């Protein structure tokens, strides 16, 4: 085959329609969507979590006070728009354990959302976190095994950069049954 017929063959094949791009059965490309705008106070809260931390405090049940300690570390997740945090709990009355928290913005609920994976492999239900300025709050309502209403309230207040005050209360049937008071301090 001479050069001229080869060029004609090449030109003819180059002009043939491509079946995969023009096929009526091919799905259309996904629409280009922009990422939701994350509120500034949630972005600030995500950034504030990053680093290595130490937790110390008390579990209070009536007159009983049990020390509570732990450490944790948060790193930026994909594109810095969320966090992945690893917790190490140092219980005095049971074996130590750890957990992984995944934090990010939930555009449907318009809140910060946290999902925990425990070291037992159990994934907790995502928690919706209300962020207002320097305060994060989670309220969870449930029912005890004997049908009484329970409310857990977890409030974290950034007292200054790198230091937080945390209070978790557990009420059952309208009475306080347990309380955790913690201080979280960034160590790195």
| Containing structural domain, residue 174 | 40-186
**Cβ-based neighbour number of residue 159 at 10 Å:** 12
Predicted pLDDT of residue 31: 58
Domain-embedded: residue 4: no
Mean pLDDT by 10 residues, the chain (188 residues): 41 41 57 73 94 97 95 92 95 94 93 94 92 94 91 95 96 94 96
Domain-embedded: residue 2: no
Domain-embedded: residue 124: yes
Domain-embedded: residue 145: yes
Domain-embedded: residue 31: no
Q: At a CB cut-off of 8 Å and minimum separation 6, what does 8 contact?
A: none
Closest CA to 41 of 106, 112, 113: 112
Domain-embedded: residue 33: no
The CATH number of the domain holding residue 58 is 2.40.128.20
Q: How open is the CA angle 135-176-134, to the nearest 5 degrees?
A: 5
Domain-embedded: residue 69: yes
Q: At a CB cut-off of 8 Å and minimum separation 6, what does 167 contact?
A: 154, 155, 179, 180, 181, 182
Predicted pLDDT of residue 23: 47
Domain count, the chain: 1
Contact between 80 and 74 (Cβ < 8 Å):
no
Predicted pLDDT of residue 105: 94
Domain-embedded: residue 25: no
Q: What are the backbone angles phi and psi of residue 20, rounded to the nearest 5°?
A: -70, -30
The Cα–Cα gap between 69 and 15 comes to 71
The Cα–Cα gap between 26 and 79 comes to 31
- The torsion angle over the Cα atoms of residues 162, 138, 111 and 161, rounded to 10 degrees, is -10
The Cα–Cα gap between 111 and 102 comes to 14
């Amino acid at each position: 085959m001479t050069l001229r017929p080869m060029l004609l063959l090449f030109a003819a094949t180059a002009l043939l329609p491509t079946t995969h791009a023009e096929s009526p059965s091919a799905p259309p490309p996904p629409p280009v969507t922009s990422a939701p705008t994350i509120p500034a106070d949630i972005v600030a809260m995500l950034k504030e979590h990053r680093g290595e931390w130490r937790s110390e405090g008390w579990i209070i049940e009536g007159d009983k006070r049990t020390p509570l300690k732990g450490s944790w570390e948060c790193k930026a997740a994909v594109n810095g728009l969320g966090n992945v945090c690893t917790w190490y709990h140092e219980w005095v009355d049971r074996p130590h354990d750890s957990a992984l928290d995944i934090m990010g913005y939930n555009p449907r609920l318009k809140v910060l959302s946290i999902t925990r994976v425990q070291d037992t492999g159990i994934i907790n239900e995502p928690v919706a976190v209300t962020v207002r300025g320097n305060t994060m709050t989670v309220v969870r309502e449930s029912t005890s095994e004997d049908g009484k209403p329970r409310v857990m309230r977890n409030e974290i207040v950034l007292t200054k950069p790198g230091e937080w005050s945390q209070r978790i209360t557990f009420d059952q049937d309208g009475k306080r049954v347990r309380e955790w008071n913690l201080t979280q301090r960034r160590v790195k």
